């Protein structure tokens, strides 16, 4: 059963949490001030991404784009390159869109209310709450995975946190518990707690500053919370990857503006299901013939494709697991009329924004993706 707290308990919890935070808060690059631009960029980078991963990206990003104005005017290719390796690349594109909104609608000055913040591209309920509370001291919850985990344990809340409607339950509870005088510190303290004593795996509730408030721990049920339904595992998707080299460089494909890895460049990737091979099991040599015809149809290139051997390159995403089988050929360069790609000299490859699967293909060839 969900525990409820008295007003007295709420006050004691706030003091205990904030006293601990004042002593133990992590010193992070984006915590040097409360500039909304700094808070915003860090919060977007931290979505589904760990602190240690974000730190070097954040530092580089601030040198490249020091202000909202710089970001609004950013070159999209430079922006994607700065985000390369962080994943969820729509975050980067939304950052630029939101920066343009701030310049156009607010003369470059950040709006302060959660409602106005949520109207900016890429800012949802969590990020709006984080910016409003941390940068502007607005007493609103910032309900992220940490808040779900911490409060589900403190109060033994059994609602499934994987379900969208569960957010309201937590938002309402945290709205009552949040410290009205220090909402930003309160929200950040919950996050620090969630990434130290109250982690998902191997938590240490025994030494937590708020263990007296942790009902799940007191009942010996720390790991029973949060309740979270499972997601299906990613499905296998077989691909062919083409290593086509000419005197003008490698054949590279631009992945368009929507869907997986939008805006990125890779060696041409063909979903084997798109080759319409029927249900028969296809041998590598036979597959090579089909791909050769496909390549000719799409690019006009005539090439004698050879399977490159070795295991398929594997790339796991949230919903798919790509298995990329490599085929290669040396050809004479020709103009690519309607194919969305270009010949790229090896010396220019590193200037493009390259996703991990492309890095892995290059590594297989013994190429250095950084030059």
Partner DNA sequence: GAAGCGTGGTC
Partner DNA sequence: TGACCAAGCTT
C-alpha 32/C-alpha 45 separation (Å) is 17
Toward DNA, which CB reaches closer, 227 or 282? Answer: 227
C-alpha 194/C-alpha 329 separation (Å) is 51
Toward DNA, which CB reaches closer, 73 or 90? Answer: 90
Shortest distance in whole angstroms from residue 303 CB to DNA: 27
Chain contacts with DNA (rule: CB under 7 A): 26, 28, 42-43, 46-53, 85-90, 94, 121-128, 130, 144-146, 149, 163-165, 188, 191-192, 194-195, 199-202, 228, 230, 233, 259-262, 315-320, 355-357
**CA count, 13 A, side-chain hemisphere, 193:** 33
Toward DNA, which CB reaches closer, 62 or 336? Answer: 62
Given the residues 12, 24, 43, 156, the one annotated as active site: 43
Shortest distance in whole angstroms from residue 315 CB to DNA: 6
DSSP string for 128-182:
HHHHHHHHH--------HHHHHHHHHHHT--S-TTSTTHHHHHHHHHHHHS-SS-
Distances, alpha carbon 153 to alpha carbons 38, 161, 261, in Å: 31, 12, 37
Is the N-terminal amide bond of 226 cis, ω within 30° of 0? yes
Of 281, 336, 329, nearest in space to 304 by CA: 329
Shortest distance in whole angstroms from residue 301 CB to DNA: 27
Residue count (the chain): 371
Q: What token pair was written down for 222?
A: 């720390």
Toward DNA, which CB reaches closer, 182 or 301? Answer: 182
Asked about 43 being catalytic, the answer comes back as: yes
> Using only C-alpha atoms, what is the Rg of the chain?
25
* DSSP label of 278: -
C-alpha 237/C-alpha 363 separation (Å) is 21
Q: Which residue has the tokens 């799940």?
A: 216
Toward DNA, which CB reaches closer, 28 or 333? Answer: 28
Shortest distance in whole angstroms from residue 288 CB to DNA: 25
Q: Which residue has the tokens 């609103």?
A: 140
Catalytic residue IDs: 43
């Amino acid at each position: 059963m969900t525990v409820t707290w008295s007003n007295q308990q709420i006050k004691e919890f706030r003091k205990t949490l904030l006293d601990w935070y004042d002593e133990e808060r992590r010193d992070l690059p984006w915590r040097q001030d409360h500039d909304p631009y700094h808070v915003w960029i860090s919060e977007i980078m931290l979505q589904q991404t760990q602190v240690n991963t974000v730190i070097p990206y954040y530092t580089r990003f601030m040198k490249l784009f020091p202000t909202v104005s710089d970001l609004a005017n950013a070159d999209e290719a430079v922006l994607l390159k700065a985000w390369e390796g962080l994943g969820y690349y729509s975050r980067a594109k939304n950052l630029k869109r939101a920066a343009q909104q701030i310049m156009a609608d607010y003369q470059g000055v950040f709006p302060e209310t959660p409602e106005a913040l949520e109207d900016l591209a890429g800012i949802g309920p969590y990020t709006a709450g984080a910016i409003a509370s941390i940068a502007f001291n607005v007493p609103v919850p910032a309900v992220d995975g940490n808040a779900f985990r911490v409060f589900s344990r403190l109060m033994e809340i059994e609602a499934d946190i994987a379900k969208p409607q569960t957010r309201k339950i937590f938002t309402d509870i945290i709205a009552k518990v949040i410290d009205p005088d220090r909402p930003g510190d309160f929200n950040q303290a919950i996050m620090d707690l969630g990434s130290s004593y109250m982690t998902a795996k191997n938590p240490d509730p025994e030494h937590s500053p708020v263990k007296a408030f942790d009902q799940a721990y007191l009942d010996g049920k720390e790991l029973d919370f949060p309740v979270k339904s499972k997601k299906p595992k990613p499905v296998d998707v077989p691909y062919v990857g083409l290593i086509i080299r000419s005197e003008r460089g490698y054949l590279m494909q631009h992945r368009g503006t929507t869907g997986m890895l939008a805006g990125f460049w890779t060696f041409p990737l063909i979903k084997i299901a798109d080759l319409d091979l029927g249900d028969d099991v296809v041998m590598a040599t036979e597959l090579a013939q089909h791909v050769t015809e496909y390549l000719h149809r799409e690019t006009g290139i005539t090439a004698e494709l050879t399977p490159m051997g070795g295991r398929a390159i594997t790339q796991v995403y949230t919903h798919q697991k790509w298995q990329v089988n490599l085929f290669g050929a040396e050809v004479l360069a020709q103009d690519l009329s309607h194919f969305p790609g270009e010949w790229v000299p090896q010396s220019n490859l590193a200037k493009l924004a390259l996703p991990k699967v492309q890095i892995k293909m290059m590594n297989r060839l013994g190429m250095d993706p950084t030059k």
